[in-house]
Amino acid sequence: MATGTIKIRAQMTGDSTEVKALFKHDMETGLRKDKTTGEKIPAMFIKEVTCEHNGKAVFVAKWNVSISKDPYLSFKFKGAAKGDTVKISWVDSKGDTDSSTAQVA
């Protein structure tokens, strides 16, 4: 299990909360070749990102290999209050996972 791969910021403007997240992940496409051996590097990428607000899933992103390395994701939702918890977790194609939480500011 990976740790410390997610950075989250949740900022409230009016009644809308903007969540921004940065992930640390190689997002291998499976098309790249190792320059020394000439062998293909197998695909390894984040498949699914789940965002929860106070324990309830509000936003689910399903990704392909074509999301950039060290992915960025942002979305906005209504109904949050300052101090609420936003939790983001990911699962990659190898079954590795990580999750992190942040407070709405």
Partner 1 sequence: MIIKRRTFLKGTVATGALTVAVGSGFIKPGSVMAAWPEEAFTQKATADAMSKLFGSASTTESGEIDLKTPDIAENGAVVPVSVTTSLAGVQSISIFIDKNPQPLACSCELTPGVEGYVSTRIKMGETSNVIAVVKTAKGLFSTKRMVKVTIGGCGG
Chain residues that interact with partner 1, rule: CB under 8 A: 16, 27, 29, 31-33, 47-48, 53, 57-69, 71-79, 91, 95, 97
- Phi and psi at 81, nearest 5°, equal -125, 160
| CB nearer to partner 1: pick between 4 and 41 | 41
| CB nearer to partner 1: pick between 26 and 103 | 26
| CB nearer to partner 1: pick between 79 and 103 | 79
Q: Please report how close the Cβ of residue 105 comes to partner 1 at its closest, in angstroms.
A: 18
Q: Please report how close the Cβ of residue 7 comes to partner 1 at its closest, in angstroms.
A: 15
How many Å apart are CA 65 and CA 13, to the nearest integer? 33
Asked if 10 and 104 touch (Cβ cutoff 8 Å), the reply is: yes
Q: How far is CA 13 from the centre of its chain?
A: 22
Q: How far is CA 90 from the centre of its chain?
A: 6
- Phi and psi at 8, nearest 5°, equal -125, 140
Q: Please report how close the Cβ of residue 13 comes to partner 1 at its closest, in angstroms.
A: 11
